[in-house]
């Protein structure tokens, strides 16, 4: 087995159940968004002070997608879990990402909220 394949499998094996659940939610969101015509640019953009789950292109827009999953709607559910502090971290991460681009495309922030089996796609959730 090639070393990189071995490492990928080893790292996947040490992820917690919560991390694996989050990975599955991101994959479900990605498949859904691609079916709606969006194209993947990058997964899991990480920087100091923030993270973006999915970066996608929708027509002329660069779309920063936050994926939130909750078992059900108790305590406000997936949508309510995107607090003002989380929004600030998303904006920060998007600014860092955009610094690496030659031109600044029009952008928006979307949310894919998953509660149980229900998936909801909310466009333009942050006015930055």
Burial label for 51, CB within 10 Å (0-12, 13-18, 19+), is middle
Work out the widest C-alpha separation in the chain, in whole angstroms. 47
- Mean pLDDT is lowest, of 22-31, 71-80, 92-101, for 71-80
pTM score: 0.83
Burial label for 5, CB within 10 Å (0-12, 13-18, 19+), is exposed
CATH topology of domain 17-122: Trna Endonuclease; Chain: A, domain 1 (3.40.1350)
* 14 has a pLDDT exceeding 70: yes
pLDDT band of residue 72 (cuts 50, 70, 90) is low
* 1 has a pLDDT exceeding 50: no
* 3 has a pLDDT exceeding 60: no
Distance from C-alpha of 73 to C-alpha of 56, rounded to nearest angstrom: 27
């Amino acid at each position: 087995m090639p070393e990189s394949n071995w490492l990928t499998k080893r790292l996947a094996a040490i992820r917690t159940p919560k991390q694996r659940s989050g990975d599955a939610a991101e994959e479900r969101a990605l498949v859904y968004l691609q079916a709606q015509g969006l194209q993947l640019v990058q997964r899991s953009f990480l920087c100091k002070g923030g993270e973006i789950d999915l970066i996608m292109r929708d027509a002329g827009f660069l779309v920063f997608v936050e994926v939130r999953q909750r078992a059900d709607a108790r305590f406000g559910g997936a949508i309510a879990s995107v607090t003002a502090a989380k929004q600030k971290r998303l904006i920060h991460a998007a600014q860092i990402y955009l610094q690496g681009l030659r031109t600044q495309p029009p952008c928006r922030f979307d949310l894919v909220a998953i509660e149980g089996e229900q998936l909801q796609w909310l466009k333009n959730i942050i006015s930055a």
